[in-house]
Amino acid sequence: MDNPLRILHLEDDPLDRDLVAESLTEGGFSCKMRHVDTRESFLKAIEEEEFDIILADYSLPAFDGLAALEIARKKRPEVPFIFVSGTTGEDPAIEALTSGATDYVLKQKLSRLVSALRRAVMESKNRKDVAARETALNNVLHRLQLQVRFMPLACVVWNPDYSIREWNPAAGTIFGWSEAEAFGKDIRKLIVPPEERESRSILFDQILGEDIDGRTVSVNCTKSGKNITCEWFRTHLKDESGNLAGVLSMANDITERIRLENQLQTAQRMESVGTLAGGIAHDFNNALTGIIGYAELLRMRLAGDPKALADLDEISRAAERAATLTRQLLTFARRQVLEPVNLDLRNVVNDLMRFFVKVAGEQIEVKTSLAADTPTIRADRGQIEQILMNLIVNARDAMASGGQLSVETGGVILEDDYIREHQYMKNGRYALLVVSDTGIGMDEATRGRVFEPFFTTKGPHKGTGLGLSVVFGIVKQHDGFINLYSEPGKGSSFRIYFPAIEAAPDVRIGARPEPAPGGSETILLAEDEEPIRMLAERILKEIGYTVLTARNGEEAIEVFRRHQEAISLAVLDVVMPRMSGKAVFETIRKINPLLKVIFMSGYTADAIHQSFVLPTGVPYLSKPFGPVSLARKVREVLDGK
């Protein structure tokens, strides 16, 4: 059963009160009546209590019905108000109804009260349901609005005249303008970089004209004038009749994401260029070893023919040039064999700068600053020198009309925060080498490509574009990182990080003694490339040695087993079929732990990214090599120097 109907009844006559109550009970209503008969009691009741319905007499001695109606409409507009009146005639009824009464029932026709009440209750209930639904919907909308407002995307609503109507806090964060600053401003002026305003206004018209996709990526600017890259989504806002009322544009700042993607892309490009360059250089290198070597052999034979010798000189010179390029490419591709020592960077810089200051000329002021906390690194001294040389030469070229060159070293610890911004780096302790100049600097396009082999802006015959590729390759092969900071006209700064080690630097060995040119010992020579093997064999035989050759690793072991008494030295190619030089070395060392060895290599072809790092102190000869360096190396090793 429903709750009793709560009725406020304004009536002074007790008889009429009873009559009304009675007819309601008869009509099947269960009611809870509160009776009042003055303005004060009416007001008090309406304020104290909730009612489902108000019944009122039209004219009362101490109050009047229309005044009550006015109060009720004001205070309880949702509660139905029915007159139950003895006042007949049309005028009062019409006045009552136009003033907002729900119904007008005559006391003389009280039987109508029940149906009037029923209808009023029903309508009121419907009205309440609708109101409740509306409230619920409004709540949802309100929450949604809040969520939209506070989501991490910038949400901007702008009018067809481009003025900004809504601007959420994320928009404030991304673009730097507060809501108050942005409101009413022309969106085209607020967030488009000044130099692009003209061309970009077409885009805004296209957006309004609905002939553009919902998503675009564009460069925007912030209040402080910084350019950022944003990804935009948008939707048209229409009014009830379908006309364009504005545009909701949502933006995500993807500057950082793009930067990281570019970082990754550059790294991948360098990897693939490295693979390609390394592959070519490897084969080229072997061919050159043949050209250079045979040219030298020919030289001995042509001793009496000066014209032929002059031609031969040209061949040798061209081949040497090619060999230099090839070696640089191999360095870029990280296929150099490292001879790492425990190195003090400060030491390398000091030695080199002494030499450089002389060549720098007066226009270039040289500054070095070597911090005492520069950690020791595990590195190949020659290669580090090469890094410095290349950077310094570039700096000099960038300062044709003078400037300042500074070379600094120090120690740094890279924390996680830093790594998040530079994802190609690893955290840890590093020795830092910084080479900076105050020269012409580089624009973004140049900055993105400087480490690529053969990229140069110096014009034909001036630069090969290999300098920085070599730097890059060496740094990578030392598990280091290189960062470049430069702006056109503002100079350049290269920062190189080498992993620090906990050790004291090695003590440097002095200059090497002059080697004897030849000898009579027996040498095992293992090399798979025929031209190189034959060349080395001929060189060694001509200067008196007995040479036993092998074409691969297994053969080398076999030959060694058969002649182990005679063999004093093994000259082994690092990369050979069947068995690598390193494996051959390990096997024969088990048979004869005192056997001397020289490795030959200019590369590590077995794995592109793994450098073949020789055990410290193991002698090696880099290809391409000439007869003199081979002879010298062989003698040096045999004599145990």
State the residues that interact with ligand ATP by CB under 6 A. 390, 394-395, 398, 437, 439-442, 446, 450, 455-458, 463-469, 492
> Which of Mg ion, ligand ATP, none does residue 437 bind to, with CB < 5 to 8 Å depending on kind?
ligand ATP
Would you count residue 519 as binding Mg ion (CB under 5 A)?
no
Question: Is 568 an interacting residue with respect to Mg ion (CB under 5 A)?
Answer: no
Which one of Mg ion, ligand ATP, none interacts with residue 515, CB within 5 to 8 A by kind? none
The residue range among 140-148, 393-401, 438-446, 624-632 that interacts with Mg ion, by the rule CB under 5 A, is 393-401
Q: Mind spelling out the 3-state secondary structure of 532-593?
A: HHHHHHHHHHHCCCEEEEECCHHHHHHHHHHCCCCEEEEEEECCCCCCCHHHHHHHHHHHCC
Q: Strands 164-167 and 154-158, how do they pair? A: antiparallel
Shortest separation between residue 394's beta carbon and Mg ion, angstroms: 4
Angle (CA) 303-305-307 rounded to 5° is: 125
Q: Closest separation between CB of residue 471 and Mg ion, Å?
A: 9
Q: Is 85 helix (H, G, I), strand (E, B) or coil?
A: strand
Shortest Å, Cβ 469 to Mg ion: 9
Which listed range, 41-49, 275-283, 389-397, 530-538, lies at the site for Mg ion (CB under 5 A)? 389-397
What's the count of helices (H) and strands (E) in the chain, helices before strands?
Answer: 20, 22
The answer to whether 330 and 281 have CB atoms below 8 angstroms apart is yes
Residue 205 or 365: the one with the smaller Cβ distance to ligand ATP is 365
**Residue found by looking up tokens 């209040």 in the block:** 223
* Whole-number Å distance between alpha carbons of 277 and 331: 10
User: Dihedral, CA atoms, 16, 17, 20, 25, nearest 10 degrees?
Assistant: -140
CB of 441 to ligand ATP, least distance (A): 6
Question: H or E segment at 104?
Answer: strand 103-106
Cα within 13 Å of Cα(496), Cβ side: 26
Binding-site member from 394, 409, 436, 493 for Mg ion (CB under 5 A): 394
Residue nearest to ligand ATP (CB): 467
Q: Considering the complex, state which of residue 374 and residue 394 has its C-beta at the smaller distance from Mg ion.
A: 394
User: Minimal distance in Å, beta carbon 436 to ligand ATP?
Assistant: 8
Q: How far is the CB of 352 from Mg ion (least distance, A)?
A: 16
Tell me: does residue 439 bind Mg ion (CB under 5 A). Answer: no
Q: Which is nearer to ligand ATP, 117 or 496 (CB)?
A: 496
C-beta closer to ligand ATP: residue 142 or 458: 458
Nearest distance from C-beta of residue 451 to Mg ion, angstroms: 11
| Residues in 125-164 at the binding interface with Mg ion, rule: CB under 5 A | none
395 binds, among ligand ATP, Mg ion, none (CB under 5 to 8 A by kind): ligand ATP
Between 394 and 580, CB nearer to ligand ATP: 394
Q: How many CB atoms lie within 10 A of CB 241?
A: 6
Q: Which amino acid is at 514?
A: E
What the block records as the tokens of 327 is 């070696």
Q: Please, what's the b/e burial string for 559-573 (b: 16 or more CB within 10 A of its CB; e: otherwise)?
A: bbeeeeeebbbbbbb
How would you classify the pairing of strands 81-85 and 53-56? parallel
Least separation, in Å, of the C-beta of 484 and ligand ATP?
A: 8
Task: Give the HSE-up count for residue 371: Cα atoms under 13 Å, Cβ half-sphere.
Answer: 13
Which one of ligand ATP, Mg ion, none is in contact with 492 (Cβ closer than 5 to 8 A by kind)? ligand ATP
Q: Which does 38 bind (CB under 5 to 8 A by kind): Mg ion, ligand ATP, none?
A: none
The reply on whether position 278 binds Mg ion by CB under 5 A is: no
- Scan residues 459-488 and list those touching Mg ion (CB under 5 A): 467
169's enclosing H/E stretch is helix 169-175
Which of Mg ion, ligand ATP, none lies near 433, with the C-beta cut-off 5 to 8 A by kind? none
Cα three-residue angle 99-102-105, rounded to 5 degrees: 105
Q: Which is nearer to ligand ATP, 89 or 460 (CB)?
A: 460
C-beta nearest to Mg ion: residue: 467
| Angle (CA) 248 254 258, round 5° | 145
**CA proximity to 542, closest of 259, 294, 277:** 294
Closer residue to Mg ion in complex, CB, 468/631: 468
CB of 419 to ligand ATP, least distance (A): 26
- What, of ligand ATP, Mg ion, none, does residue 465 touch, CB below 5 to 8 Å by kind? ligand ATP
Residue 356 CB, shortest distance to ligand ATP, in Å, is 14
d(C-alpha 19, C-alpha 111), whole Å: 10
State in angstroms the smallest separation of the CB of 388 from ligand ATP: 13
Cβ nearer to ligand ATP, comparing 441 with 553: 441
Q: How far is the CB of 458 from ligand ATP (least distance, A)?
A: 4
- By beta-carbon proximity to Mg ion, the closer residue of 285 and 492 is 492
The closest of 289, 341, 330, 335 to 575, measured between CA atoms, is: 335
453 or 467: CB nearest Mg ion: 467
Nearer to Mg ion, 319 or 466 (CB): 466
Q: Looking at beta carbons only, is 441 or 553 nearer to Mg ion?
A: 441
Give the nearest distance from C-beta 397 to Mg ion in angstroms: 7
Distance CA 9, CA 105 (A): 14
453 near Mg ion, judged by CB under 5 A: no
- Taking the C-alpha atoms of residue 220 and residue 227, their distance in angstroms, rounded to an integer, is 6
Q: Which stretch binds Mg ion (CB under 5 A): 173-181, 378-386, 390-398, 498-506?
A: 390-398
Tokens 């319905």: give the residue: 53
In the bound state with ligand ATP, the residue whose beta carbon lies nearer, of 230 and 398, is: 398
- 513: exposed, middle or buried (C-beta count within 10 Å: 0-12, 13-18, 19+)? exposed
Cα-based distances in Å from 576 to 274, 523, 597, 610:
22, 18, 16, 16
List residues near Mg ion by CB under 5 A. 394, 467
